[in-house]
Amino acid sequence: MAPEPDVWAMADLVTPFAVRTAATLRVADVVRDGPVPLDQIAKRCDAEPDPLGRVLRFLTRRGVFVESEPDVFGPNEASRQLQSDDPSDMRGWLDLDGAVGRADLAFVELIEQVRGHHPAYHAAFGRSFWEDLAHSPQLSDSFDDSMESKSSSLAPQVADALDWDRFRTVADIGGGKGVLLGELLHRHPDLQGMLVDLERPVSRAAEHLDSRGVADRAQVITGNFFDPLPAGADAYVLCDVLGDWEDQDAIRILRRCAEAAGDNGSVLIIELLPGAAEEFTEMDLRMMIYVGGRMRDVERTERIASAAGLFIAAVTRIEGGYGIMECLPDR
């Protein structure tokens, strides 16, 4: 029998905010090579020694950092996960000055959204998540970096999961700087590609695709997936896109892809599916709070695909709980 959950521990806000404060201030980077006196840590982190010391003493009692002598703090295995060069990019996801860390603060308004009073993010910050990114290059860049980190781990699995050589041209819709498209073109030398996204995300695409050696086979197009999309591809890919939107907007995006794909093309939806229930339900809450979106199982995805004139012909599961749902015209 599974142990009873510790509800009080689950409700704790002190620990997560202390961890996020240390992550935002990059304390783990400062002490990575060994113990450092508190006043030096505070100076390098642009923080006040007394409150910072109280945070670090609390964290040492929770197993993050060590206090080798009074007011001298050093690294341990837990704190190394918060270093900027850790492969998990945990620090970036927890950074309260970044787009995702800031968005997590909107959870204080969860109760009001559940009561139907107002969207949580707008209540917390006075504008929507997307408006926030548009007003702040720092937030926009941090969001792009987080999505790039996520795509970098997912892209090789997607490239291995399907027979991409059956397509001549693949269009990555909302694909940022082209991490997924670059991986597909790199692994499949006969494949051509299109990348469609807003001006800021695609501004770094040419450099990235060139670094993968595939720029000569990729067309970079500035566009909005709510507007007509360029025709001519055999497959239109939406990777981690539809979860950002409620059903009606997701249907609009799918219709644009279906229009561009025509009678003979495919629309490939790549999203987290509810195989890993805890991760799926957590992400569902995050999408609701951040952007008013939602995660969908295959059945709900089938419903919005049908409303856009498509049907799901095949589902391919990949590691990490993701699935690739291949949609064809429902004629």
| Shared domain check, 234 and 92 | no
CA 228 to chain centre: 25
Given a cut of 70, is residue 1 above it in pLDDT?
no
Cβ(187)–Cβ(212) under 8 Å? no
**Do 287 and 217 have their domain in common?**
yes
* 3-state SS assignment for residue 97: coil
Contact 20, 94 (CB under 8 A): yes
Residue 278 C-alpha from the chain's centroid: 17
Q: Do 52 and 5 contact (CB within 8 A), yes or no? A: no
| Confidence label for 326 from pLDDT (cuts 50, 70 and 90) | very high
Q: Quote the CA–CA distance of 283 and 286 in Å, as a whole number.
A: 5
306 and 157 belong to one structural domain: yes
- What CA–CA distance (Å, rounded) separates 269 from 244? 13
Whole-angstrom distance, CA of residue 267 vs CA of residue 126: 36
Listed in order, strand segments (DSSP E) in the chain are 36-37, 66-69, 72-74, 169-173, 192-197, 218-222, 235-239, 266-272, 310-317, 322-329
CATH code (residue 212): 3.40.50.150
Q: Do 246 and 126 share a structural domain? A: no
pLDDT tens digits, one per residue of 62-71:
999 999 999 9
Residue 2: inside a domain: no
Domain boundary among the residues 96, 122, 154 is at 96
Tell me if 83 is assigned to some domain: yes
Tokens 């299109």, located at residue = 194
Q: Are residue 110 and residue 184 in the same domain, yes or no? A: no
72-74/36-37 β-pairing: antiparallel
Domain boundaries, position 35: 7-96
Q: pLDDT by residue (tens digit) across 40-58?
A: 999 999 999 999 999 999 9
CATH of the domain at 32: 1.10.10.10
Using alpha carbons, list the distances in angstroms from residue 329 to 93, 168, 250, 304, 314.
38, 18, 17, 13, 13
Task: For residues 203 and 62, state if they share a domain.
Answer: no
* The overall pTM is greater than 0.85: yes
User: What is the total count of domains within the chain?
Assistant: 3
Residues 108 and 255 placed together within one structural domain of the fold: no
Assess whether 89 and 181 both reside in one domain: no
Residue 150: what pLDDT? 85
Are 113 and 89 contained in the same domain?
no
What's the pLDDT tens digit per position in 97-113? 999 999 999 999 999 99
Residue 1 within any structural domain of the chain: no
